[in-house]
Every structure is written in structure tokens, then in C-alpha cells.
């Protein structure tokens, strides 16, 4: 794709991930953050992962020289083709920023929020000029490697904007999933939240440690989910009759009180179990080393997934 100018509003973990993804794709990036130390933090982050980006695959125009910082929002967005908003998950903060972005952005620019929870229709309420160009483009950490980005439009979204956004994110070596509708938390986060809540109960009740819960996913369903997701996993568990047999055999179990999806009270005792458990899992290994190990693994796993093919996702990416 022709080189474009991307504005990244907010340079925390997600914002910096987008900066890395955009730079690796060969685009120019204008970053906005009011933190006076933001540029230094971002530069250190990029220097640390640049070799990883190169090993994953980088556009010939990919360069750190394409990044520029500003503390003026209008300067950041007025020439941008895509504005990626990543400010804290507070409705009032997001709406305040998006109101100004909508006022300053040029005609034809796409405004995309990385929000993990809010529906696009809610955020569009802040746009006085062109609410039809605001969409959700929700990524997953680390943004510079994990390919899924959930795209959702609100009540006022022009569907052509979603089509254009899908093409743009696909050109960044991503797998854009265009949602048919909108819902709080989108798709991926709602599924992760369900597992997270059940995991909290298991730890809180003393059934297992954080390490044992993680192992139960890594060496069990997680292996199959990485290839085919939860529905196809259960379809194959039904043998020759697939999901039909699966529902006949295990459908009645849905009435049993196996899960507790209402989250437990996050007491001081439970908090300490989680903090102590994950600290013990890390041992003396620095977070930076754990992130590097995660990134190496993701690159290998994604290469294997591309080799094997994930037919439902590929169909969605082509036709969504």
C-alpha cells in the first residue's frame, strides 16, 4: 500500500504497539502524548523490539526516521489518513479527545478507537462534524505482532469506512474481523473475560494456583484453540457426527453449576494470591525477557498457523 500518515493519540502499551506496527508497515507516524517523557519511553521501546519487527517482516520503507512526536493535537491529526486513539478507558476522556480529533481531522480521514470496551455508537456521540467516519479498531497485545483487529461500526458509521479500514489494516499484515454489529467488550475481550472470571474463582477457592490455571490452558484447550477456536474444537470432539453428537452428549451439562461467571469480590486476600502467584511464576526473570520470549513464540506459532491454515478466520477476513 502507498505510504500513508498515521496519527497515534496516546502512547501507552497499546499506542506504542500501533506505532511499531505502522512504522514496520512503512508508514509515517505522528504521535501525540502530553507526557513530557513519552517520546523517550517510545524510543526506548522501539529500539528494544526493532530486531523482532525485522525478523517478523518489515516493509522496505520501514524506518524509525518516520516517527515524529508532538504535544499539539491539531498538528498530530490534521494531515493524517488514519487517526488511532488510545487514551485511557474512561468515557469522558475518550469523548473529549475524539470531539477535538473530529474537529481537526481532514475530510476523508478515518478515526479509529482502540477501546476494549465502549461501543462505537457511544463514542460517536462526541463527534459534531463527521461521526460516520468513527469506528472501533480493537487490537490485542502485543499489537505489533498479534494480527487480529476487531472492526466495528456504530449507528452512524458509513459502511464504506469499514471497508476502507479493513483493507488498510490487512495491508499491515493483520487479520481484520469486521463485526456484524456492536457490543460492549466486542468479541475477544468478552471471551477472555469469561475465562478470567472463572480463573479468579478457581484461585480464590483454593482449587488451583495461577500457575496451574495457566498450565491447564497452555497444555490443554489453548493448543487446539490456537488452530481452530472453541466451536470447531467442540465440533471435532463430537466425532463423525460433529457438533450434533457433542450437543446430545454434553448439552445437558449446561444446566449444571460448573461455572461462576459472576466475578468474585476482589478482596485483599485474592489480590495477594494473584500477585504472589504470578510473581512466583516469573521467578527472577525480568518482564522484558518474558516479553521477548513471548514474541519469539508468537512468531513461530503464527508461522505454523499460516502453514496449516485457519479456514474459518480466513473466510471471515476475505468476506467480512
Q: Which of 213, 208, 242 is nearest to 228 (CA)?
A: 242
188-200 burial, b at 16+ Cβ within 10 Å, e below that, comes to bbeeeeeeebbbb
Same domain, 19 and 147: yes
Q: Is residue 317 part of a domain?
A: no
Q: Is residue 35 part of a domain?
A: yes
Same domain, 116 and 265: no
Q: Give the phi and the psi of residue 190 in degrees, each rounded to 5.
A: -65, -40
Q: Which alpha helices (DSSP H) does the chain contain, by range? A: 13-24, 38-56, 73-77, 91-104, 120-124, 159-170, 188-204, 210-218, 221-237, 243-250, 268-282, 287-308, 311-319
d(CA 73, CA 97): 9
Residues of the chain with pLDDT under 70: 310-320
Q: Is residue 293 part of a domain?
A: no
Same domain, 154 and 69: yes
Q: Is residue 308 part of a domain?
A: no
Specify the pLDDT at position 276: 93
- Cell digits for 149? 483487529
Specify the pLDDT at position 320: 41
The model's pTM: 0.91
pLDDT tens digits, one per residue of 67-104:
999 999 999 999 999 999 999 999 999 999 999 999 99
Same domain, 123 and 28: yes
Same domain, 92 and 56: yes
For the domain that residue 107 is a member of, what is the CATH number?
3.40.50.720
pLDDT tens digits, one per residue of 153-210:
999 999 999 999 999 999 999 999 999 999 999 999 999 999 999 999 999 999 999 9
Q: How many CB atoms lie within 10 A of CB 180?
A: 7
Specify the pLDDT at position 311: 57
Specify the pLDDT at position 166: 97
Residues paired with 136 in a beta bridge: 113, 152
Give residues with Cβ within 8 angstroms of 272, minimum separation 6: none
End residue of a domain, out of 147, 178, 209: 178
Q: Is residue 247 part of a domain?
A: yes
Same domain, 121 and 98: yes
For the domain that residue 267 is a member of, what is the CATH number?
1.10.1040.10
Only one residue has cell 471471551, namely 191
Distance of CA 316 to the CA centre of its chain: 17
Domain that holds residue 60: 5-178
What is the domain count for the chain?
Answer: 2
C-alpha torsion sign, points 60, 65, 69, 70: negative
Q: Is residue 291 part of a domain?
A: no
Specify the pLDDT at position 319: 40
Same domain, 9 and 31: yes
Amino acid at each position: 500500500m502507498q505510504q500513508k500518515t498515521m496519527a497515534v493519540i496516546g502512547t501507552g502499551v497499546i499506542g506504542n504497539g500501533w506505532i511499531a506496527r505502522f512504522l514496520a508497515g512503512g508508514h509515517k507516524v505522528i504521535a501525540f502524548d502530553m507526557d513530557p517523557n513519552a517520546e523517550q519511553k517510545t524510543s526506548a521501546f522501539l529500539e528494544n523490539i526493532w530486531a523482532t519487527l525485522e525478523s517478523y517482516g518489515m516493509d522496505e520503507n520501514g524506518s524509525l526516521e518516520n516517527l515524529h512526536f508532538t504535544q499539539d493535537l491539531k498538528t498530530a491529526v490534521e494531515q493524517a489518513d488514519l487517526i488511532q486513539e488510545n487514551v485511557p478507558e474512561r468515557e469522558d476522556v475518550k469523548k473529549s479527545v475524539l470531539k477535538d480529533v473530529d474537529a481537526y481531522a481532514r475530510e476523508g480521514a478515518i478515526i479509529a478507537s482502540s477501546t476494549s470496551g465502549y461501543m462505537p455508537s457511544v463514542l460517536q456521540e462526541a463527534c459534531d462534524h463527521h461521526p460516520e467516519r468513527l469506528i472501533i479498531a480493537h487490537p490485542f497485545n502485543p499489537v505489533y505482532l498479534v494480527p487480529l483487529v476487531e472492526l466495528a461500526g456504530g449507528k452512524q458509521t458509513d459502511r464504506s469506512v469499514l471497508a476502507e479500514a479493513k483493507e488498510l489494516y490487512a495491508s499491515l499484515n493483520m487479520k481484520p474481523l469486521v463485526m456484524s454489529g456492536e457490543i460492549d467488550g466486542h468479541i475477544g475481550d468478552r471471551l477472555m473475560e469469561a475465562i478470567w472470571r472463572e480463573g479468579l474463582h478457581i484461585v480464590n477457592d483454593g482449587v488451583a494456583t495461577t500457575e496451574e490455571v495457566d498450565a491447564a490452558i497452555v497444555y490443554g484447550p489453548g493448543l487446539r484453540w490456537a488452530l481452530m477456536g472453541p466451536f470447531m474444537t467442540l465440533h471435532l470432539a463430537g466425532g463423525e457426527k460433529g457438533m450434533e453428537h457433542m450437543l446430545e452428549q454434553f448439552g445437558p451439562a449446561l444446566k449444571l453449576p460448573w461455572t461462576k461467571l459472576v466475578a468474585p469480590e476482589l478482596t485483599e486476600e485474592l489480590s495477594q494470591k494473584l500477585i504472589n502467584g504470578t510473581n512466583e511464576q516469573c521467578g527472577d526473570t525480568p518482564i522484558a525477557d518474558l516479553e521477548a520470549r513471548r514474541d519469539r513464540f508468537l512468531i513461530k506459532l503464527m508461522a505454523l498457523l499460516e502453514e496449516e491454515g485457519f479456514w474459518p478466520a480466513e473466510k471471515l477476513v476475505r468476506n467480512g
